[in-house]
């Protein structure tokens, strides 16, 4: 018998308790993590969405480090170093310059970091709603998809067989 998925209450981190959370980072690195998340996805007034440095989303990122943990810590330390001090304490232009430095000099780390950020960002309830999505996993409800107009096949039928006969 299949177990039904448990609906996720609004405001809770999107992952379920099936994911063992990563151990927390130290507070200084946590601050860097939030600042670095905003480098990838900042808040947008135009679309009415938080940035990836939002408290809930950043907590989700921290919980989700998993097998990327070592690489992410390296990326965060690199950002601090490139910014000339703790990233979160730097002015915007230095933070952005540090982000550029990471992308240009540590592209693999930058990709790992950005992939993790967007994975967590785009499962946030508010962000999903802003995209016209219901904040839920695909199962069990699934989605409606129009069958389509099969009469479009008439020209194909009228052209006759296409396969190559073999004696």
Partner 1 sequence: MAATSANDSDWVDVLIVGAGAAGAAVAWSLAETRMRILCLEQGGWMRPDEYPSTRRDWEQLAAREYSPNPNIRRRPEDYPIDDADSPISVVNFNGVGGSTVLYAAHFPRLHPSDFRTRTLDGVGEDWPIDYQTLEPWFALNDRMTGVAGLAGDPAYPAHEPPLPPVPMGSVGETMAKAFNQLGWHWWPSETAIATRDHEGRAACVNLGPCLSGCAQGAKGSSDVTYWPAALRAGVRLRTSCRVREVLVDDEDRATGVVYFDKQGAERVQHAHVVILACNGVGTARLLLHSKSARFPEGLANRSGLVGRNLMLHPWGMVRGVFEGDPDERFTPHLQAHLGPGSCAIWSQQFYETEAGRGFVRGYNLQVTRSHGPASTARYLLGHGALPWGDGHHRELRRHFGNMIGIGVCCEDLPEECNRVTLDPVLADSHGIPAPKITYRLGDNSRRMLEHGVQRAVQALQAAGARNWRVEAPLRQTGWHLLGTARMGRDPQGSVVNEWGRCHDVRNLFIVDGSVFVTSGGVNPTSTIQALALYVADEMKKRLADLFD
Site for partner 1, rule CB under 8 A: 2-5, 8, 14-16, 18-19, 39-42, 44, 46-47, 49, 64, 66-67, 96, 99, 103, 111, 114-115, 118-123, 127-128, 131-133, 135-150, 152-153, 155-157, 159-166
CB of 45 to partner 1, least distance (A): 10
Non-local (6+) Cβ contacts of 104 within 8 A are none
- Please, which residue, 2 or 26, has the CB nearer to partner 1? 2
Listed residue (126, 132, 130, 121) closest to 10, CA to CA: 126
> DSSP string spanning 18-29?
TSPPPPPPPHHH
- Please, which residue, 26 or 43, has the CB nearer to partner 1? 43
CB of 110 to partner 1, least distance (A): 8
Helix pair 27-40, 55-63: axis angle to 10 deg = 110
> Where does the chain have alpha helices with state H?
27-40, 55-63, 69-83, 92-105, 107-121, 125-130, 154-158
CB of 88 to partner 1, least distance (A): 16
- Please, which residue, 23 or 162, has the CB nearer to partner 1? 162
Phi, psi (5° rounding) for residue 157?
Answer: -60, -40
CB of 85 to partner 1, least distance (A): 20
- Please, which residue, 27 or 39, has the CB nearer to partner 1? 39
């Amino acid at each position: 018998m299949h177990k039904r998925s448990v609906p996720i209450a609004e405001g809770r981190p999107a992952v379920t308790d099936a994911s063992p959370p990563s151990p927390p980072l130290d507070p200084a690195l946590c601050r860097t993590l939030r600042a670095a998340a905003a480098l990838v996805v900042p808040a947008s007034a135009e679309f009415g969405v938080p940035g990836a440095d939002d408290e809930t989303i950043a907590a989700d990122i921290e919980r989700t480090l998993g097998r990327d943990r070592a690489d992410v810590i390296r990326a965060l330390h690199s950002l601090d170093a490139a910014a000339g001090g703790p990233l979160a304490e730097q002015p915007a232009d230095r933070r952005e310059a540090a982000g550029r430095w990471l992308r240009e000099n540590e592209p693999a780390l930058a990709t790992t970091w950005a992939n993790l950020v967007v994975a967590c960002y785009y499962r946030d309830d508010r962000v999903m709603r802003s995209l016209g999505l219901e904040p839920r996993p695909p199962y069990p409800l699934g989605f409606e998809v129009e069958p389509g107009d099969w009469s479009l096949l008439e020209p194909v039928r009228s052209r006759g067989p296409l396969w190559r006969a073999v004696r």
